């Protein structure tokens, strides 16, 4: 009996060690880059990975703009980051990625009031069902389309500075994604539905959009001073699943406590892509655990990436 118990315990310990060194692996940003005099925008910077990223950039001297929907929560985050970083150069600007008008208003205000932009971090994301103000599926609209429009509107300012970067948070979940252009054109979404598996599938599709967007953006930025990267931050304890059902939260919470990365750990690959020196030749690539990673064929399909860009231009009114 005791031999069986010992064998089970050894199996569990081995499985735990394997998961900690693969799916839940930790890494640290090794860059010592100083950000004094530089400006960074972080969408969704009031909580989770975004807030941890903002804190580190503020500590390094950057002017940090939290681009967030909820004013009260964002102002509370500004207070926390100023206190913990010792920097007063942390501000809130209103941005609702579920509204193309809000994205345009944010960009217009920023371009009028801020003289430079060195770093755009497309961090915000959600797992939910519903529609944006403009009638798009909420996950496609927020996770991809809002960030697509924001990036395009801010590119002129990024190009005016020195070596500027765009970092977009994707996810390992992109490997389960697919882009159905017929569905996108007819229903203005990449999946929806009231069941969790349905909007998780839509989330995977939106994360594939993030990888393809970065792939195509890098091509369009060739010959400029701007580079771009997409990131899998790891499996992190965040508020991303706040719209999931109660039973799922009850199931996920103990697992997340045991395995998942905290927000600071989850911010490390974002910081690597934002700060690490000499990664410019890797523009357009996908990073995880502070290192470039290969992606499957569908995540680097030139034709699909180009078509997604053109469709996104049309849907956002840029074309």
Helix axes 147-160, 302-316, angle to 10 degrees: 100
Q: Once rounded to an integer, what is the mean pLDDT over residues 169-188?
A: 95
DSSP state string for 16-38: HHHHHTTTT-----------TT-
pLDDT more than 90, % of the chain: 78
Among 123, 279, 129, residue whose Cα is nearest residue 197: 129
Q: Once rounded to an integer, what is the mean pLDDT over residues 23-52?
A: 92
Q: What dotted CATH number matches 38-316?
A: 3.40.50.720
Counting beta carbons within 10 angstroms of the beta carbon of residue 44, is it exposed (0 to 12), middle (13 to 18) or buried (19 or more)? buried
Among 221, 191, 216, 187, residue whose Cα is nearest residue 204: 191
Phi, psi of 226 (to 5 degrees): -105, 135
Q: Which of the four pLDDT bands, split at 50, 70 and 90, describes residue 199? A: confident
Predicted pLDDT of residue 23? 47
Q: Once rounded to an integer, what is the mean pLDDT over residues 112-125?
A: 97
Predicted pLDDT of residue 239? 54
Cα–Cα distance measured from residue 69 to residue 29, given in angstroms and rounded to the nearest whole number: 28
Q: Which of the four pLDDT bands, split at 50, 70 and 90, describes residue 214? A: very high
Tell me the per-residue pLDDT of 259-307, one tens digit each, with 9 for 90 and over.
Answer: 568 999 999 999 999 999 999 999 999 999 999 999 999 999 999 999 9
| Selected catalytic residue, list 16, 195, 203, 286 | 203
According to DSSP, the residues that pair with 231 across neighbouring strands are 169, 287
Cα–Cα distance measured from residue 86 to residue 101, given in angstroms and rounded to the nearest whole number: 34
End-to-end CA distance of the chain: 70
Q: Once rounded to an integer, what is the mean pLDDT over residues 100-112?
A: 98
Q: Which distant-in-sequence residues (6+ apart) come within 8 Å of 83 by Cβ?
A: none
Among 306, 109, 130, residue whose Cα is nearest residue 217: 306
Cα–Cα distance measured from residue 15 to residue 26, given in angstroms and rounded to the nearest whole number: 16
Residue 7 DSSP SS3: helix
Whole-number average pLDDT of the chain: 88
229 catalytic per annotation: no
Beta strands in 62-185 (DSSP E): 63-68, 90-94, 119-122, 164-169
pTM, two decimals, is 0.87
Given phi > 0 = left and psi -120 to 50 = alpha, else beta, which region is 44?
left
Helix axes 196-220, 147-160, angle to 10 degrees: 30
């Amino acid at each position: 009996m005791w031999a069986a118990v010992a064998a089970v315990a050894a199996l569990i310990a081995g499985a735990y060690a394997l998961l900690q060194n693969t799916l839940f692996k930790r890494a640290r940003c090794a860059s010592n880059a100083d950000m004094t005099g530089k400006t960074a925008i972080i969408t969704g910077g009031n909580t989770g990975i975004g807030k941890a990223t903002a804190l580190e950039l503020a500590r390094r001297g950057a002017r940090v703009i939290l681009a967030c929907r909820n004013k009260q929560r964002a102002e509370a985050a500004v207070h926390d980051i100023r206190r913990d970083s010792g920097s007063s150069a942390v501000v809130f600007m209103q941005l609702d990625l579920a509204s193309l008008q809000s994205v345009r208003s944010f960009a217009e205000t920023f371009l009028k009031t801020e003289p430079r932009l060195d770093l755009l971090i497309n961090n915000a994301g959600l797992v939910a069902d519903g529609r944006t103000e403009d009638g798009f599926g909420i996950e496609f609209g927020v996770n991809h389309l809002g960030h697509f429009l924001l990036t395009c509107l801010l590119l002129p300012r990024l190009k005016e500075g020195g070596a500027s970067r765009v970092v977009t948070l994707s996810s390992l979940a992109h490997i389960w994604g697919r882009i159905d252009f017929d569905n996108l054109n007819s229903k203005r979404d990449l999946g929806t539905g009231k069941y969790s598996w349905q909007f998780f599938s839509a989330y995977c599709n939106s994360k594939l959009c993030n990888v393809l967007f970065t792939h195509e953006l890098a091509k369009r930025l060739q010959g400029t001073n701007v580079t771009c990267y997409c990131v899998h931050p790891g499996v992190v304890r965040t508020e991303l699943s706040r719209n999931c059902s109660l039973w799922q939260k009850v199931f996920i919470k103990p697992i997340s406590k045991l395995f998942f990365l905290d927000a600071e750990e989850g911010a490390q690959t974002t910081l690597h892509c934002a700060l690490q020196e000499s990664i410019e030749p890797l523009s357009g690539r996908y990073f995880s655990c502070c290192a470039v990673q290969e992606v499957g064929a569908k995540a680097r399909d030139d034709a699909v990436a180009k078509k997604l860009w053109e469709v996104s231009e049309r849907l956002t009114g840029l074309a």
